[in-house]
């Protein structure tokens, strides 16, 4: 992994990992080992993000949480915890009530125009939202194809296809390719 890159593990939480969750990704178990390999290489340059519902959702978020009431839980709810198999990653955790995690909180850790290596869940929601916003702001993005889990394999592929339209700002690579850099 490039020594200046930051690994951002997006939302590795029970709400997205648990097969019993309405938002559980069937692909999540397959990304645990690649994410751990990437985190071992990134060390302290690993950031974990968490999606948390806003305490007082505004605008479209109010309607969103009405549509998904199971997810409208307090920040300390077990559903929002990072899964045990990835809970020891990194020293920085950024929790936000947005799909995309690019913004002031993440920039405070990585700087305004970093190289971000993105992994996590869900490819077709939080990963793509983070990648597009960060690239638009000037960050260099590598999306790790086998370290991201979509809501379905088809939606994962569709999101990867969208992000592949943005080179050189966004590139796609496997875990092995990233670790060989």
In the chain, where the domains are located: 6-180
**pLDDT (0 to 100) of residue 91:** 83
| Ramachandran category for residue 138: left, alpha or beta (phi over 0 → left; psi -120 to 50 → alpha) | left
* pTM greater than 0.85 (yes/no): yes
| Helix-helix angle 153-163:128-136, to 10 degrees | 10
Domain 6-180 grouped into CATH 3.40.50.850? yes
pLDDT tens, residue by residue, 22-58: 999 999 999 999 999 999 999 999 999 999 999 999 9
Distance between CA atoms of residues 157 and 41, nearest Å: 26
Distance between CA atoms of residues 104 and 112, nearest Å: 9
Distance between CA atoms of residues 35 and 146, nearest Å: 9
What whole-number percentage of the chain has pLDDT above 70?
A: 100
Query: What residues of the chain score a pLDDT lower than 70?
Result: none
**pLDDT (0 to 100) of residue 140:** 98
Single out the residue of 122, 98, 107, 159 nearest to residue 27, CA to CA. Answer: 122
């Amino acid at each position: 992994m490039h020594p200046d890159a930051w690994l951002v593990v997006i939302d590795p939480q029970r709400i997205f990992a648990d097969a019993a969750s309405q938002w559980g990704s069937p692909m999540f178990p397959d990304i645990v080992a690649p994410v751990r390999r990437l985190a071992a290489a990134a060390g302290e340059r690993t950031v974990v993000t968490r999606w948390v519902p806003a305490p007082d959702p505004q605008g479209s978020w109010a309607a969103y949480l009405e549509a998904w009431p199971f997810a409208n839980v307090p920040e300390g709810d077990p559903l929002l915890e990072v899964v045990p198999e990835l809970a020891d990653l990194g020293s920085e955790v950024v929790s936000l009530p947005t799909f995309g995690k690019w913004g002031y909180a993440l920039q405070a850790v990585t700087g305004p125009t970093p190289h971000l290596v993105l992994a996590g869940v869900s490819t077709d929601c939080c990963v793509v939202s983070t990648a597009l916003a960060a690239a638009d702001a000037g960050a260099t993005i590598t999306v790790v194809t086998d370290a991201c889990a979509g809501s379905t394999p088809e939606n994962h592929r569709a999101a990867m296809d969208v992000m592949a339209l943005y080179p050189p700002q966004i590139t796609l690579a496997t875990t092995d390719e990233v670790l060989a850099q």
